[in-house]
Amino acid sequence: MTITQSDRSSGDILGFVVSGDVTKADYDVMTPAVEAAVEEHGTVKLLLDLTDFRWEKVGAWGSDLHFGREFHEKVARMAIVGHKKWEERLAHLATPFYAQEAAYFEDPDAAWAWLRS
């Protein structure tokens, strides 16, 4: 499995570690957790740790797009953690498709603090 929920998740703040190549089945981890948090809190704040992420398999693209359409209005903030320039650019692209506000961090602790602020 390449998407795992962080043990630092609590309440409306959910963190996920994304590693390797993401498949369609990986969304079965993230989507129900986000759905449950949205149902309970109305909106959520997400952290995606992409430090060990490689790519998303073509078969997962539909699930990715569906996730964005379903939750865009419900994701108040999205923190993207990584160490590559393209990950930083991804944070800028996330706002119109996945979250109301998104930011890039190299330090996971700073990302968690931003989500909790």
pLDDT in tens, 17-56: 988 788 777 777 788 899 999 999 999 999 989 887 776 6
- Which domains are delineated in the chain? 2-116 (3.40.50.10600)
Q: What is the reported pLDDT for 65?
A: 62
Q: What is the reported pLDDT for 28?
A: 78
Pair 116, 13: CB distance under 8 Å? yes
Report the greatest alpha carbon distance in the chain. Answer: 36
Residue 59 CA neighbour count, 13 Å, CB half: 7
Question: What are the phi and psi torsion angles at 104 (to 5°)?
Answer: -105, 140
The residues, any chain, with a CB within 8 Å of residue 94's CB and separated by 6 or more, are: 78, 80, 102
Name the DSSP letter for residue 22.
Answer: E
Indicate whether this model's pTM tops 0.85: no
